[in-house]
Every structure is written in C-alpha cells, then in structure tokens.
Amino acid sequence: MKKDKNNRLNDWEKKFVKEVKIEASNEFSYETDEGISINPLYTSEDLLNYEFNDVNSLPGEWPYTRGPKASMYTNRPWTIRQYAGFSTAEESNKFYRKNLEAGQMGLSVAFDLPTHRGYDSDDEIVMGDVGKAGVAIDSVEDMKILFDGIPLEKMSVSMTMNGAVLPVLAAFIVAGEEQGLDKKVLSGTIQNDILKEFMVRNTYIYPPEPSMRIVADIIEYTANEMPKFNSISISGYHMQEAGANNVQELAFTLADGMEYVRAAMSKGLAVDDFAPRLSFFFAIGTDFFMEIAKLRAARTLWARIMQDFGAKDEKSLTLRTHCQTSGVSLTEKDPYNNIVRTSYEALSAILGGTQSLHTNSFDEAIALPTEFSSRIARNTQLILQNETGVTNTVDPLAGSYFVEKLTEDMCSAAWKIIEEVEEMGGMTKAVAAGMPKLSIEESATKKQAKIDSGKRIVVGVNKFKNPKEPKIDVLVIDNEKVREDQIKKITILKEKRNNDLLREKLSIITEAAKNKKGNLLELCVEAIRARGTVGEVSKALEDAFGRHYATNLGVSGVYGKFFEKDDKFMAIQNKINNFEKENGRRPRVLIVKMGQDGHDRGAKIVATSFADLGFDIDMGPLFQSPKDVAKDAIENDVHAIGVSTLAAGHKTLVPELMKQLKALDKSNKIIVFVGGVIPEQDYQFLYDNEVSAIFGPGTSILDSAEKVIELISKK
C-alpha cells in the first residue's frame, strides 16, 4: 500500500481500515483495568496528533521514550539483581557470595521487618519477626558481616529501606569506611521513598512531615559526599503489589518523584546537582504490552516533568529504573506455572527498557525462596540475555502501532491523575488526605472480584486446575535461633562500646531533629561509628518526631458489584441474614495484621468483601501484638478473628494469640481463621493450635466467607 507525502493512509485505505475495524469491533472489544480501550486493530492513523510521545525520536534522545541511552543493551545488558536477605548477616552473606559467583551482577538487600521499623532484635515487640522476611541488621557490625568478602568499591548495592533509612544507610557508609573505602567510591541505591510507605507498604516510623525532611537530608548528603550513589529509588512496585493498576502506579510514582525534587530544592540544591542520582523502581505484572508501554511512558513524562523543574543536564531528564517481576501474580496453586509468569514478565521489562531487573522465585507465594528456586529465577535472566537475541537491537517494539498508541494512552491517563494530585497541593497533601490509598484499595478489590467471579482467568487457580498439586520444598527460618544470635551480638556490642560517647551522639541527633538544624544522616553516621544500634538511633529520632500511627480507611460496595444475582454470593448473604434473625445481630469479624508486617492488601480485600456480603467488620490497626488483638476481640464481642499473614511470623504470632484468647475468653466462642502466605506443611501446626480454617493464596473470597459463616453458625 502506498502512503502520501504526509505518511497518512489514502482514501481507499482509510475506507478499508475503517471497515475492518468496525467488523473486528463487533467481535471483540476490551477495556483494561486502567480504563484504556484496546482496539482490535491499529494502523498508522492511530499515531497522529500525539500530545506526549514523539514517535520519531531515537533512543537516548528527548523525550527518551525509546530508552535513556542510545545503545541500550547492544552495548551493555541490564544488570541482573536478586533481592534477597534472610536470617542473620552471616547466612545472607553466604547466599550473596554464591549468587555473585553464579552470574549475579548486583546486590539488592532485603531487611527484616524489625529493621524496617527501627526496632532492635532484642525488643519484645518484634519477637515473631526477627530474620523472617529479610536479614536482621542491628548495628554496623552486622552490616560488616553482611558484606564480608564483597568489595564495596566494585559492587553496586541496592537497599530497600525507608523507615529506618538513616541508621541503615549510616551503617552501610561506616561498613565501607571500615573496609578502608572513602564514601565517594560507594555505589548503589537506597530506596528512601517514604511517601509510598504511607500509601501502601506501611513500614514507616515517623509522621509524613519529618519523614520528608529525612528524605531531603539524604539527598543533600549524598549529592555532596557520595557522587556514585543513588539517593532515592522512587518506587511504584509496592503500589502495584497493593493492587494499583498500571496507570495509578505510573502516576503516583512520578507524583512522588515531583515531591522529592521539591524537597531537595528546598535544601537549596540546584536541580541538576541531585537529579542525575534519582532512580525509579517499577513492578512488572502479567499484562505484557501494558507493562512495556508503562516504562516507555514513564521516561516520556519524567523528561517533561524535569524540564518544567528547570533541569538542563541530560542525566537529570532521563528516567532510569530498576524493575522486579510481580509477587502478587504468583500463585500457591500449581506453583511451577509461576516460572512461566515470571519469564514473560521479565521479557516485558526488558522490552520496556529497564536498567536492572530482579526475577521472583516461583515459590514466593508459599514461603521464602530456596536456593533451588532462586537459581531458576536468576537463570531466567541469563537465558534472556544470552539465548534469545533481545540484546541485539534497541527498543525492538518501536514503531508498533499498538505499542506506540498504548504508550500515548498511558501518558495521557497518568497525566490526568498527576494533575489531580497537583491540584491537591502535591503528593504529601494527597497522601495525608488518603486519596492515593483509597483509589489503590478500590483497584485491588476490583481485581480480586474479577478473579473470584471468573471474569479474569488465573491458570491453575480459577480455571485449568491441577488435580494433583505438586509438593515443593520451602526455606524454613528458625526465628527463635536467629533472635538468640542477634541478642548475643547486641549484648557484646554494648559491653565493648563507649556508652557515654554514644549518649552524647544520640542526644545531638534528638536536638537536631527538634530544632530542624544540621544534616541528620551526617549525625547518624557519627552515632553508628560510636556503635549505636539501629533501634537506638531510631529512638533518638522518635524522641523528637514521635511515631506515626495510621488511620484505617476503606472502600465499600466495590466487590459486591461484580456479583449481582450471583447464586453463590446470594446464598452466603442468605446464611448471614438467617444468622442475624436467629441471633439478633450480624456475624462480627475482626480482621487483623500482627507483628511488624505492613502489607495489608489481603486484609483490606477480605474486610471490604466480607462487609459487602453482610458481615459486621472491625479492622484492627497495623502492628498489633497478639495480646492487643485478643483484648480488642473480647471488647468488641466478635464471633471470629481473621489473621492475615505474609511475613512468615504465623508460627510464633498465631499460637500466642490463641494463648491470649484462652486467658480472656473463658467461653471459647471466638473462632480464628488465618489467610496469606503459609506453607502447606505448616497447616497442621496451626490446626494443632486450634485454628479453625486456613486460606492460602488464591482462595476465593466467596469460598472463605462461606466457610467462616458456617464455622460461626456452629459455635
């Protein structure tokens, strides 16, 4: 077909294409979770009149849609990272060194929940969480062990840390010093993205305003002292994991970035002095082309945003990103399917132009990854780099009518949300108002309802089920042993250090935090050198800032809309109504998270969907102890407690809850059910501790609700 000089279709072609589109539309129409219409056919006509994307731009050229560098993977492939950490620093160090020998190119450190929340391992409040979902780091001595034999002047280290970011980054700096290195040679990234913690992940410590000061102080310090280190990784990953659709993840992440730029500029820094060291972190789910378009759109929008901030340096204008395949797309049912899911997600990130990548292990919907599953995850990337040819050309999907149009659609939809945030006064104010959190929770509930209603197929879960589920090995952490080891190390540290000197350093931190003077990271480095612990430094800051406690917000009516006139949904409602007629009140359920795990997507979805079915729901605050939960259950006179668990603390926290309930509830009428990431071999342990029901990942909400109302009715 010949094109005219303006590269438009001629009249005959237009007529032909129009007829084909109409015919195809009659047979197929689709709208994504993001509200973007997907056409059955795309042509060059779809590439006209773009507002954001420049389809004629080149890689490494404004607005960087096709990649931040001209050569991309043809010169150097993306960095293979594996996010890992568990148990003690000694065990994690062994794991890291094995992975590096096997082809991994960068380290990404996962810290345990007590470290995230600024508690030392000897604190009674974290007894069930130590070493479970990451490595326990209590002091610089642990950090030195973590990187023993790993030359920090050569190795890029990424650390996912936000709440206790000051003492943890300070410990990394001092560990480098004690390897004999100037901090100027240290390379890597600290996440330092506190706004998304208030939205979704919840491993915050201090209120939003002082937390933003911490972010700015770190950007200032690293800009002046650590030129090779990325001061912030602006993260959308946890938003998608919490249920955000791709447009929400894109928009809120970039809006967070804008807020951090303003915070840094408020310190007197010129934008080009720090912006080249900003980096991003996105999730990559199973919607293959949408994820590719999201990364291309992110670069396009960020270039324009930074230009508006007055950036001139090309490095300030280019968005660089790390990506990680989805954790929430992994299923407990038929788990070997997860290898396929992760492989395609990884390919999607690569075709979208990521700079580094972590691939999740297939068993992470069940437990912490084993060495066997981690090797498969790492080799997935090695195969993509060395066997598929994806590194031979730059942005191979450029020029695809579909991908280019989808990129523009993503830009347009995300920009509308960004404008809404800006109208609210920026992301800090939007977060304080709860706008992002509520919109993400609504999206998460819709996604779950689509799966439960069969409107979305998940292979092996709601269709094409495996009649014979495979047994797989899981990594088990002896939490009590890890905690004992950490307490011994803390005791030795405190016996050897100069406690008077440390008290002086901690007092200076508290005063600086109160008076808004001095750089807090610089002061924390001094305290860590004096052998202060993560908990002690965090407490010195807490004495000035206070500790933040979130207010529970929730959506309603979203889940139920997907089940109008659904027989099973109505049958459960009838059972609940019958219970009310017989007992004079509705069945009341307390939904809780215990310990320091702040991932509350599952708990929130259960709460809102159970409420839509007719249960009376109480939502417990985050970070409760088993004793607190038992007390709330008795005071609120609930029929059942639903425990959501993700971070492997169920073998410690649930038995303690049962013990506390027995002490308070002499009638023994409250049933307890547990849901989340629980290895099947732990089921019997929980049943032996009188748990009434267990619902693993992928369980339909309707199935769990039906079981719960039956159990309550029998009591």
Q: What is the set of active-site residues?
A: 83, 237-238, 593, 597, 599
Task: Please list the residues that pair with 528 across neighbouring strands.
Answer: none
- For residues 595 and 653, give the distance between their C-alpha atoms in angstroms, rounded to a whole number: 7
Whole-angstrom CA distances from 602 to 573, 610, 646, 672, 677 are 21, 12, 9, 16, 10
Pairing of strands 106-109, 157-159: parallel
Q: Tokens 């056919």 identify what position?
A: 41
d(CA 178, CA 140): 10
Sheet (strand 188-190) strand order:
229-230, 188-190, 157-159, 106-109, 79-84, 356-358, 321-325, 278-284, 232-235
> Where are the strands (E) in 188-245, listed by range?
188-190, 229-230, 232-235
Give the dihedral sign, CA 492/498/501/504.
positive
Closest CA to 116 of 169, 170, 171, 164: 164
**Alpha helices in 453-519, H assignment, sequence order:** 479-496, 499-515
Whether the bond into 208 is cis, omega within 30 of 0: no
238, 332, 284: which is closest to 597 by C-alpha?
A: 238
Q: Yes or no: say if 560 and 701 are a contact pair by the CB < 8 Å rule.
A: no
Q: What is the DSSP letter of 249?
A: H
Task: Write the DSSP assignment of 111-161 as a string of letters.
Answer: BPHHHHTT--TT-GGGTTTTTTSSB---SHHHHHHHTTT--TTT--EEE--
Q: How far apart are CA 256 and CA 234, in angstroms?
A: 7
Tell me the two tokens of residue 556: 């309603």
> 204 is written with which tokens?
């915050």
- Residue 14 half-sphere exposure, CB side, CA atoms within 13 Å? 9
Q: Which residue type occupies 304?
A: R
Alpha carbon distance 264, 217 (integer Å):
8
Rounded to whole angstroms, the maximal C-alpha distance in the chain is 87
Residue 229, helix vs strand vs coil: strand
Please state, in angstroms and rounded to a whole number, the distance separating the CA atoms of residues 599 and 193: 16
Q: What are phi and psi of 116, to 5 degrees?
A: -55, -40
**Alpha-carbon distance 619 to 603, whole Å?**
8
Per the CB < 8 A criterion, the answer to whether 224 and 456 are in contact is: no
φ and ψ of 166, to 5 deg: -65, -55
8 A C-beta contact, residue 108 and residue 131: no
> Which contacts (CB < 8 Å, 24+ apart) does range 693-697 have?
696/332, 696/366, 697/330, 697/331, 697/332, 697/333, 697/365, 697/366
Question: Do the beta carbons of residue 193 and residue 235 sit within 8 Å?
Answer: yes
